[in-house]
């Protein structure tokens, strides 16, 4: 799981957030200091229906 | 002559969040509990070191605005976190011998005064982080 900074109190907004040992990440997420980095959605697979003879 | 006068320099970070601009007092105490080992024949009390018992006490202005004091601390009650204090803001990120950074990892926040209101005064709170492991970075 990776995180991105939202609040300037933590660092530069938009930068990747790497929690140090012991940091309570859930508390940071709860109050919007950081957000989870969403993985880009996978592209849809196109299923071709070519019945072979 | 050894004196330290603090005007606006000390840096405070709670759970990775900078609280320097809300903090008015910070005390980091490194305690090694004293276990008495005085025995018969002794004429003075003698102690040996027991467990270490660390504490950081902070006085903060209370603010309920986004990303401020309440938002920083509310979810930490009853949990452990990491608290950093240095005699300068720069010491938090680039500590040195003259700007040591004291880090309490696994610090437990037992209580948070959620309201401390007095007419005509800025609201302040005092909190204490207990336990954990204290490390001192000087480089």
pLDDT tens-digit readout, B11-46: 999 999 999 999 999 999 999 999 999 999 999 999
pLDDT of residue B136: 96
Cβ contact, residue pair A22, B106, below 8 Å: yes
SS3 for A47?
Answer: coil
Residue B5: which pLDDT band, with cuts at 50, 70 and 90? low
Q: Which residue of B has its CA nearest to A29?
A: B75
Residue B5 lies inside a defined structural domain of this protein: no
d(CA A45, CA B48): 69
Considering CB atoms only, which of B16, B18, B74 is closest to A20? B16
- Rounded to the nearest integer, the mean pLDDT of chain B is 93
Q: Based on the number of CB atoms within 10 Å of its own CB, is B74 exposed (0-12), middle (13-18) or buried (19 or more)?
A: middle
Quote the domain boundaries for residue B25: 11-37+48-137
Cβ contact, residue pair A24, B105, below 8 Å: no
Residue B114 lies inside a defined structural domain of this protein: yes
Query: What is the number of structural domains in chain B?
Result: 1
pLDDT of residue A53: 56
Enumerate the residues of chain B whose CB falls inside 8 A of the CB of residue A8: 67
| Residues 6 or more apart whose Cβ sits within 8 Å of residue B17 | A7, A9, A10, A28, A33, B67, B72
> How close does chain A come to B120, measured CA to CA in Å?
28
Residues of chain A with confidence (pLDDT) below 70? 40-41, 50-53
d(CA B43, CA B46): 9
Residue B3 lies inside a defined structural domain of this protein: no
pTM: predicted TM-score of the whole model, two decimal places: 0.85
Residue B117 lies inside a defined structural domain of this protein: yes
Best interface-test mutation with A: which of B16, B70, B135 has the largest number of A CBs within 10 A? B16
Cβ contact, residue pair B76, A27, below 8 Å: yes
pLDDT of residue A51: 64
Residue B6 lies inside a defined structural domain of this protein: no
Q: Mean pLDDT throughout B97-125?
A: 96
> How close does chain B come to A39, measured CA to CA in Å?
24
Q: Mean pLDDT throughout B104-128?
A: 96
Residue B8: which pLDDT band, with cuts at 50, 70 and 90? low
Residue B1 lies inside a defined structural domain of this protein: no
Enumerate the residues of chain A whose CB falls inside 8 A of the CB of residue B64: none
**Tens of pLDDT along B49-75?**
999 999 999 999 999 999 999 999 999
Q: Mean pLDDT throughout B100-117?
A: 96
> How close does chain A come to B33, measured CA to CA in Å?
24
> How close does chain A come to B130, measured CA to CA in Å?
14
Q: Do residues B105 and B81 make contact, with C-beta atoms less than 8 angstroms apart?
A: no
pLDDT of residue B3: 65
pLDDT of residue A2: 92
A–B CB contacts, 8 A cutoff, strictly below? 58
């Amino acid at each position: 799981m990776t995180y991105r900074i939202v609040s300037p109190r933590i660092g530069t907004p938009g930068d990747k957030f790497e929690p140090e040992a012991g940091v309570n990440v859930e508390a940071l997420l709860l109050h919007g200091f950081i957000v989870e980095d969403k993985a880009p959605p996978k592209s849809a697979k196109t299923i071709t229906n070519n019945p072979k003879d | 002559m050894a004196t330290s006068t603090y005007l606006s320099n000390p840096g405070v970070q709670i759970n990775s969040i900078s609280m320097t601009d809300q903090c008015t007092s910070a005390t980091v105490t490194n305690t090694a509990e004293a276990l008495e080992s005085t025995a018969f024949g002794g004429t003075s009390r003698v102690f040996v070191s027991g467990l270490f018992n660390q504490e950081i006490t902070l006085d903060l202005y209370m603010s309920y605005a986004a990303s401020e004091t309440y938002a920083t601390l509310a979810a930490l009650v009853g949990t452990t976190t990491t608290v950093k204090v240095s005699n300068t803001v720069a010491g938090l990120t680039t500590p040195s011998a003259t700007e040591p950074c004291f880090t309490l990892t696994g610090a437990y926040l037992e209580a948070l005064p959620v309201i401390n209101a007095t007419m005509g005064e800025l609201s302040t709170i005092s909190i204490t982080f207990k336990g954990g492991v204290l490390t001192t970075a000087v480089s």
